[in-house]
Amino acid sequence: MEARPGRREALLRGGAVLAALAAGHVAEGADRVLAAGDDAALLSTLALLEDTAVYVYTAVAPRLVRAPLPGFGQPFLVHHRQHRDLLLRALRPLRASPPPTGKAHPDAVPSASGEDAAVAALLAVEGRLLGAQYAALAALGDQSLRVQVASMFGVDARHATVWRSASGQDPVPASFVTGP
């Protein structure tokens, strides 16, 4: 088994991840998680991805027009807000500074107008979350945190199914959910 990185190294790596996120770099969620290092950095990464989802849903949900899609935007947005808030609360006992949330993530929002672009953006953000959460299930050191992430993972997987179906894709393309 590969040794876990030292705490200082992990924090430095986590800091680098946060800096990349702040700069608006888009990487796959799993890569971000695996680079994060320790539980606090992992939770921060997941919280920022959920925060990105909140931003994307807020920006593109009004573009959903085909029934029943408009009815999904708001409740899924609420789910992501609840996930983000739970992750931020989970950070407190770790005495870690919360990541900056509520910021704009314009790179995650399509410039093209219309429903198809909106659905593609929502599927992309859900896919990044699924990859990050799947990686976190094995990377988090604390069992209770793994269980909390699993609880979000199962719900974000449902969201992805809805957006895949809306974009004409197989709603459940694989036997195992491991990412996008």
Partner 1 sequence: MPLTPPSRRDLLRTGSALAGAVALGACGGSVAGPAPKARATATPTAGAVHLLDQALVVEHTTLYAYSLGVQLFGAATAPLATSFRQHHLDHRDRLRSLIAGLGGTPTPARASYDVGTPPGDENGIISLVATLEEEAARAHYAALRQIADPAILQQLGSIMADEAQHSAALRTVLQQDPAPAAFVTA
- Contacting residues toward partner 1, per CB under 8 A: 1-2, 4, 30, 34, 68, 72, 75-76, 78-79, 82-83, 86, 130, 134-135, 137-141, 143, 146-147, 150-155, 157-162, 165, 170-172, 174-178
Residue type, 133: Q
Q: Toward partner 1, which CB reaches closer, 19 or 150?
A: 150
Please state, in angstroms and as integers, the Cα–Cα distance from residue 136 to each residue in 66, 131, 157, following that order: 34, 9, 15
**Nearest approach, Cβ of residue 128 and partner 1 (Å):** 15
State the minimum distance, in angstroms, from the CB of residue 111 to partner 1.
Answer: 28
Q: Kindly tell me which of 118 and 145 has the beta carbon lying closer to partner 1.
A: 145
Place of tokens 């094995």: 138
Tokens read off for 45: 């990464």
- Omega within 30 of 0 (cis) for the link into 68: yes
Tell me how many degrees the CA angle 35-37-40 measures, rounded to the nearest 5: 120
- The least CB distance from residue 175 to partner 1, in Å, is 4
Complex with partner 1: residue 62 or 141, whichever CB lies closer: 141
Question: With contact defined as beta carbons under 8 Å apart, do 130 and 177 qualify?
Answer: yes
Residues near 12 by beta carbon (within 8 Å), at least 6 away in sequence: none
Q: Residue 157 CB, nearest distance to partner 1 (Å)?
A: 4
* Nearer of residues 106 and 154 to partner 1, judged by Cβ: 154
